[in-house]
Amino acid sequence: MPSTLFVSFEQEIKVLKQSLIADSREDFRYTPEEHKRALGFRVLASAHLEHFLEERCLQIASKAAADHKSGTLTRASKCLVVWYAVTADLVIPIDNGELANRDHIDKAFEKYRKVVTKSHGINGAKLKGLLIPIGFRDAEMSAHSSLFNQLDSVADNRNPAAHTVVKRAMSLVAPEQEWTTIDNLMRLLVPFDADVGKLI
């Protein structure tokens, strides 16, 4: 079952599509205004995507920290504590007694929260950087390689869209292709969303 954050993200993207993406046409002839709206869709969809991924990671970390303090150690919470120890140049906790330190989990979550909120833009490498501290393993990274590659593609296309002069809008891809790109990405996010949820 998808997370509430993913459901909300999906609904927001569909609203953007209805507002900004022109209906498909066989002759691929669109007005400058329709191309401009498609560029707007690309930029806004990227912003919603970034928000969803960051909030989903924070949601996992927050739940893991809360469970940790109540005595339930999860993969995500233990990894957060170890990540904090490594980044703070502390002795790395090994056994459950050391990992259960409540002071460490509070500091770990606060540091992680700052890392997430200071992030600008999202691509494959940045998402991996948010996933490693909460326990996403190499095998899971590999299983979602298509998602990371697609995020890189979306990131590469976002900046030109954000800085394109209006008169050049018609030289870009057809509006329905903008939707197809995001729709394909959302399909990749469904199993990713589920796997991230398994960390807690």
Q: Quick: pLDDT tens for 62-103.
A: 999 999 999 999 999 999 999 999 999 988 887 777 787 777
Tokens representing residue 77 in the block? 């919470």
Residue 65 region by backbone torsions, left for phi larger than 0, else alpha for psi between -120 and 50, else beta: alpha
Above pLDDT 90, what percent of the chain? 69
Tokens representing residue 195 in the block? 């796997």
Q: pLDDT-based confidence at 163, cuts 50/70/90?
A: low
Measure the CA–CA gap between 186 and 188, rounded to whole angstroms. Answer: 5
Q: pLDDT-based confidence at 5, cuts 50/70/90?
A: very high
Q: Mark out the alpha helices in the chain (DSSP H runs).
A: 4-20, 32-69, 75-87, 96-99, 102-118, 124-131, 138-143, 145-162, 175-197
Q: pLDDT-based confidence at 184, cuts 50/70/90?
A: very high
- In the predicted model, is pLDDT for residue 26 greater than 60? yes
Q: How confident is the prediction for the chain on average, in pLDDT?
A: 89
Least confident among 7-11, 84-88, 163-167, 185-189: 163-167
Residue that the structure tokens 């460490």 belong to: 104
pLDDT for the residue 120: 82
pLDDT for the residue 161: 58
The per-residue pLDDT for range 30-42, each reduced to its tens digit, is: 888 898 899 899 9
Tokens representing residue 184 in the block? 């394909």
